[in-house]
Chain A
Amino acid sequence: MSAPATDNYITHARGLRSWLFTLDHKRIALLYMMSIGAAFLLGGVMALLVRTELLTPGKTIMTANQYNNVFTLHGAIMIFLFIIPSIPAIFGNFLVPVMLGVKDLAFPRMNLASYYLYIIGALFAVAAIGHGGVDTGWTFYTPYSTTTSANVIAMTLGAFILGMSSIFTGINFIVTIHKFRPPGMTWFKMPLFLWALYATSIIQVVATPVLGITLLLLIAERITGVGFFDPNLGGDPLLFQHFFWFYSHPAVYIMILPGMGIVSEIIPVFSRKPIFGYKAIAYSSVGIALLGFLVWGHHMFVSGQSTLANMIFSFLTYFVAIPSAVKVFNWLATMYKGAISLDTPMLYALAFILLFGIGGLTGVVLGALSANVHLHDTYFVVSHFHYTMMGGTVIALLAGLHYWWPKFFGRMYSEFWGRLVCVIIFIGFNITFFTQFVMGSQGMPRRYYDYISRFTIYHQISTAGAYMLAAGFVVMAVYLAASLVRGRRAPANPWGGATLEWACASPPPHDNFASQPAAPDPYDFTGMEYDANTGEWERR
């Protein structure tokens, strides 16, 4: 059993200044966790407002303009303030140095700067909400976004600054993973979570500047009237869509790859088996990152893009499906002949496989050109990306949250409530979003304030599911908060993980490790046994 940790990163220094100016990657991760959690709460409230408004056709609780603002904010907050930073900034920040057995990231000050850029970007977004609102949808399509009277400039400046924050995090991870690996940890002995973050960081550093430039051009067009995108000024509205998706399609892999990394960590640990096909999973992360740059045009099949471009983008889209399929089958093969325990993190990881499976498979439907013409910009698409982004990334984030919660805070949460809420969220999610597949395929367009009566029943089922989801999250907040006060003290290694974070105390001390630990095989569980007295796994 680990020595009772009297000094850990939380108690190491006291006072507000010690938090606001901290260079400790673990404290910055906690700051991110609180801020990103607040963003998720705000985005979630917006989602409930949207679903409540759609409970009946016509006006239910708000006007069309208010609705347009609310759905825009739901999308913009969830994408830019929540899901893009979420896993890298919280779990990446906390775990990259610990998994490498070092004290901190390569650039601790840059890490803190990325957090404050995030806060400044978020303030711009909040300012936009307070002054004029934003009604463009999170995609800011021109010429609507250059002609609306809403406060597009503040919002896009916010997204621009958040992009800088994202780039800082990416650079930090790339350098740290290249330079700080301990002796003996070759590329193919790294935990797969680090591979996933590495691939993610490459996309962040390469793609985000394109978004930044695009948003600046948009701002320039609004302020100076120089025509980049507005045809009345001699611009081309499709150019904006190309620029935007050149970032935003790779960005969906920024969102999903870290989630896949979490699932790749959890499944071996709870199956007590080495990950099946380590190299295939590692390469597939890189493959997704590279192929992800070549498929942006599949968002534009009915936009007026040429038929040749449509053909090429549809073809390439099918190739990006393969690395994801490889991962899913490799996870399943890892479970084969294992000794599987369905603790809360594992339940979420399995929920991820099922929900992301549906999200990925419906992507195959959308990639088919003729079917896409019917389904584009309907609720089928809305449902597809919620299955990948919420059923995928958010569920993976919850898996990671429950997996690393003892490491973050040194306390165990209630396993009963953990599993129950996982089931509630799984069911609530499917009620909310599977309905939307059917409704979209039946012809319901997205971003609609009002709808014709034949869609009413679908909207009402979907809204009921959304309330169920919300209830699940409320209960989760309660039992997680309760664990901080009353939870059993967590041992260093409650799940039997073999990666280095489980070799240091829960919560880790300020310096993580007293001396540089040797690189372990991250998926070798032989000889590990569970001690029921201490609640801890030890290697014999």
Chain B
Amino acid sequence: MPLDLSKIVFSVQQGYTPREQSFWMPPPGSTGAHEVDWLMVVLLYICTFFFLLIAALLVTFAVRYRRSRVAGPQPSASHSLPLELAWSIIPLAILIVIFHFGFRGFLNIMTPPDDAYAIQVTGQKWAWMFTYPNGFVDKDLHVPVNTPVKLTMTSEDVIHSLYIPAFRIKRDALPGRYTTTWFEADRTGEFELFCTEYCGEGHSAMMARVVVHDKAEFAKWLQDAGAFIDRLPPAEAGAKLFSIQGCAQCHSVDGSGGIGPSLKNVYGTQQPLQGGSSVLADENYIRESIMDPQAQIVAGYQPVMPTYKGRLKDKEITVLIAYLKSISGAGRKELEFEAGGKKSGKEDAKP
């Protein structure tokens, strides 16, 4: 009678997949996590068994045949073909079975269903950008629960790798080509997302949140998220965009150092440039620094910022500039003046 392996595997999967954090694995958050976890558990048992076998033989022989305890070596076979075949073929058979289940699990966690919800992912030094079907871009990954989500990934610069430990998925994002991965979150909550391909100074800061919403909440979030630029006052909208676009990964807003210069009190002041000259940070300078970052480099910093040409609309740059004004002494006066001017203008228009 043929052995029904899949049935055995199924029962193993049911029995050995913890829902909570275990000694080895973080708490699982997706259907694919179980595909990995049961195999990890089985593999750890197999490894432990063979390690204990080796250690037991080693310790037993080292104690039992200590030179002080035995008169001398006793004769035994110098080789044994059956024995050597046994400890080649039995491990090989076990390894081929492991290969089989590893490959099968891999196909499952790498092949997205046709109806998966599609999100575009762009990696860049040192932030992730997730583009939703309606065109909205966020630095965090928001997804609906119990829905297959397919990520199509690329990179703006060097190789990055998207890793969500709770979902047990990882895939490199390469410049100049697309790679895909997918998952189906099976509970709501927040999870970690790391970059796992070394990409330079900010590699370990290239983190994001994965927020799993219930389905209705996700739809509402996406609708609200896309429209904030029109709803909020410009400086507030700019602050939100600054966070969403991941600007804060490199630029602080409190004067502390980072990969790029802090943007506190930049607007309206003279900025020292590489080569000794300086420039007034006005609207045009800020716009140029976003669209063509290599044009003028602030003294003491590396030319590492990627361009946002084609990725930010004019409206978005305008609110970013408004935000930078709001965190600069000179800029705040300007904002107040603008607000005051408009006000007085309105008053003037009254009869």
Contacts and interface: CB of A to CB of B under 8 A. Distances in A.
Contact of A373 (B36, B57, B80, B207): B36
Interface string B156-199: 01110101011011111011110100000000000010111111
A209 interface: no
Interface string A294-306: 0000000111100
A362 B47 contact: yes
B159 A143 contact: yes
Interface string A447-463: 11111100000000000
B109 A350 contact: no
Nearest to A137: B198
A64 B202 contact: yes
A310 B106 contact: yes
Contacts of B108: 370
Contacts of B106: 301, 307, 310, 369-370, 372-373
Given A314-B99, A329-B87, A442-B26, A368 B55 contact: no
Contacts of A445: 163, 194-196, 204
A447 B203 contact: yes
A442 B174 contact: no
Contact of A377 (B51, B61, B197, B200): B197
A514 interface: no
A172 interface: no
Nearest to B110: A307
Contacts of A274: 78
Contacts of B77: 276
A438 B24 CA distance: 6
B109 A373 contact: yes
B170 A232 contact: no
A373 B23 CA distance: 19
Given A141-B159, A441-B40, A451 B204 contact: yes
B39 A368 contact: yes
A65 B201 contact: yes
A68 interface: yes
A21 interface: no
Nearest to B169: A373
A25 interface: no
A341 B176 contact: no
Interface string B37-80: 00110011011001100110110011001110011111111111
A300 to B, nearest CB: 9
A369 B121 CA distance: 23
Contacts of A311: 103
Nearest to A363: B47
Contact of A448 (B71, B157, B204): B204
A238 to B, nearest CB: 7
A335 interface: yes
A276 B78 CA distance: 5
Interface in B200-229: 200-205, 207
Contact of A449 (B88, B98, B158, B203): B203
Contacts of A441: 24-25, 40
B315 to A, nearest CB: 29
Interface in B67-117: 67, 70-80, 83-84, 87-88, 91-92, 95-96, 98-99, 101-110
Contact of A370 (B35, B72, B204): B35
Given A271-B65, A332-B57, A335-B61, A446 B196 contact: yes
Contact of B54 (A353, A376, A377): A353
A72 to B, nearest CB: 9
B139 to A, nearest CB: 17
B99 A280 contact: no
Contact of B168 (A350, A374, A449, A452): A374
A483 to B, nearest CB: 23
Given A231-B177, A370-B106, A338 B61 contact: yes
Interface in A142-176: 143-144, 147-149
Contacts of A336: 61, 65, 76
A278 B84 CA distance: 11
Contacts of A328: 54
Given A238-B174, A374-B165, A448-B203, A272 B72 contact: yes
B159 A237 contact: yes
Contacts of B270: none
A453 B124 CA distance: 25
Nearest to B35: A370
A143 B80 contact: no
B170 A376 contact: yes
A335 B65 contact: yes
B203 A357 contact: no
Nearest to B98: A368
B243 interface: no
Interface string A90-127: 00000000000000000000000000000000000000
A335 B56 CA distance: 13
Nearest to B175: A231
Given A322-B88, A377-B170, A370 B73 contact: no
A427 interface: no
Nearest to B171: A302
Interface in A285-334: 301-304, 307, 310-311, 314-315, 318-319, 321-322, 325-326, 328-330, 332-333
Contact of B200 (A144, A365, A370): A144
B54 A337 contact: no
Nearest to A278: B79
Contacts of B46: 361, 364
A48 to B, nearest CB: 20
Given A361-B47, A371-B40, A373-B106, A141 B197 contact: yes
B170 A373 contact: yes
B99 A367 contact: yes
B103 A314 contact: yes
A443 interface: yes
Contacts of B110: 307, 373
A335 B108 CA distance: 45
Interface string A184-212: 00000000000000000000000000000
A364 B62 contact: no
B143 to A, nearest CB: 19
Interface in A248-307: 271-280, 301-304, 307
A354 interface: yes
Contacts of B40: 365, 371, 374, 441
B221 to A, nearest CB: 24
A437 to B, nearest CB: 8
A340 B60 CA distance: 11
A38 interface: no
B279 to A, nearest CB: 23
A409 to B, nearest CB: 26
A358 interface: yes
Nearest to A71: B198
A365 B37 CA distance: 12
B344 interface: no
29 contacts: A141-B198, A143-B159, A147-B158, A231-B174, A303-B174, A307-B106, A314-B99, A314-B103, A318-B95, A326-B84, A332-B61, A335-B62, A340-B65, A358-B47, A367-B95, A368-B43, A370-B39, A370-B102, A371-B36, A373-B36, A373-B169, A374-B36, A374-B170, A441-B25, A442-B25, A445-B163, A449-B204, A451-B204, A452-B207
Given A322-B91, A341-B66, A350-B62, 17 more contacts: A137-B198, A237-B159, A271-B73, A277-B78, A279-B79, A310-B106, A314-B99, A322-B95, A337-B65, A354-B55, A357-B54, A369-B105, A370-B39, A373-B36, A377-B196, A445-B163, A445-B194
Interface of B: 23-26, 35-36, 39-40, 43-44, 46-47, 50-51, 54-55, 57-58, 61-62, 65-67, 70-80, 83-84, 87-88, 91-92, 95-96, 98-99, 101-110, 157-159, 161, 163, 165-166, 168-172, 174-177, 179, 192, 194-205, 207, 302
CB-based closest 4 A-B pairs: A231-B176, A443-B165, A370-B105, A368-B102
